[in-house]
Amino acid sequence: MSFMASSRQTRTTWCSRCGASISAPPGARSVRCALCHTTTRVERRPQHNGGLHQAVGFIKGLLFGSPSQPQPPPPASSGSMRAGDPYRLPASYPRARGKKRALLVGISYSFTKYELKGTVNDVNCMAYLLRQRFGFPGDSILALTQEEKDPYRWPTKENIRLAMRWLVEGCTSGDSLVFHFSGHGVQKLDNNGDEVDGYDEALCPQDFEDRGVILDDEINETIVRPLGAGVKLHAIIDTCHSGTILDLPYLCRISRCVHHLIYS
């Protein structure tokens, strides 16, 4: 029953120009394509000719498409991205090679039952703090949110994986790195026996229902193990089950007895 209710919350339509699939919120009369920014009217009758829409959109794209039009990200792989796997960073990612670098991820999970409020604002506030208080250059901060126009800056599983590679690529002694994530976190059964409690912690990308989560094992391998001596990594993870998301060999025990100061 919950699945049926959820499926009625949004409708799928297709961009009248490029043929991309678009999820329309309830009651919407028109939607804007995130790829080509074309406004498409939402039909009131059920869509039974999706293949025709996509074919027409493809032909229109060939005839009227612009070379500067952003292209969708490559499909994400279901397995973990190993440290030695080849990769290519998107051309739109910052090329800064200074001593300070930050990756900020905020996911709102729009139009789903998991929707969160304030995650994009978290990213904006963190970026402002890093620039104004800690002197991070603007071109050394990479933000992934669902409000970005560049598809390579959407917080999908594949984009987050690539962005974590960007964060640590070429880092040297004295570098200061920041990883901030605001979104959902979950626990998964541990399959390799490296967790005391039997569970891996994981981050939920924007497309986690289709592509899966990012386990703490992969996060550790991607942004912790490559760090050389003298490199500092500050991780601010605003999710559930975030205490061991970096899979560090340290255990912090925090007393549950909290003393409250009451000011009259």
Q: What does the pLDDT look like over 20-60, one tens digit per residue?
A: 667 777 777 777 776 656 677 776 544 444 455 555 554 55
Catalytic residues: 184, 240
Instruction: Give me the sign of the Cα torsion angle 144, 149, 154, 159.
Output: negative
Q: What local confidence, expressed as pLDDT, does residue 184 receive?
A: 92
Distance CA 183, CA 106 (A): 6
Q: Are 88 and 51 in contact, with CB atoms under 8 Å apart? A: no
Cβ within 8 Å of residue 101, ≥6 positions away: 136, 140, 141, 142, 167, 171, 175, 176, 177, 178
Cβ within 8 Å of residue 199, ≥6 positions away: 187, 188, 189, 190
Segments in the chain below pLDDT 50:
1-8, 45-50, 58, 61-72, 76, 78, 261-264
Assign domain 100-238 one CATH number from 3.40.30.10, 1.20.1260.10, 3.40.50.12660, 3.30.1380.10.
3.40.50.12660
Cβ within 8 Å of residue 72, ≥6 positions away: 20, 35, 151
The residue ranges of every structural domain in the chain are 2-64, 100-238
Q: Is 182 strand, coil or helix? A: strand
Instruction: Give me the sign of the Cα torsion angle 154, 159, 163, 166.
Output: negative
Q: What local confidence, expressed as pLDDT, does residue 71 receive?
A: 45
Q: What is the model's pTM?
A: 0.65
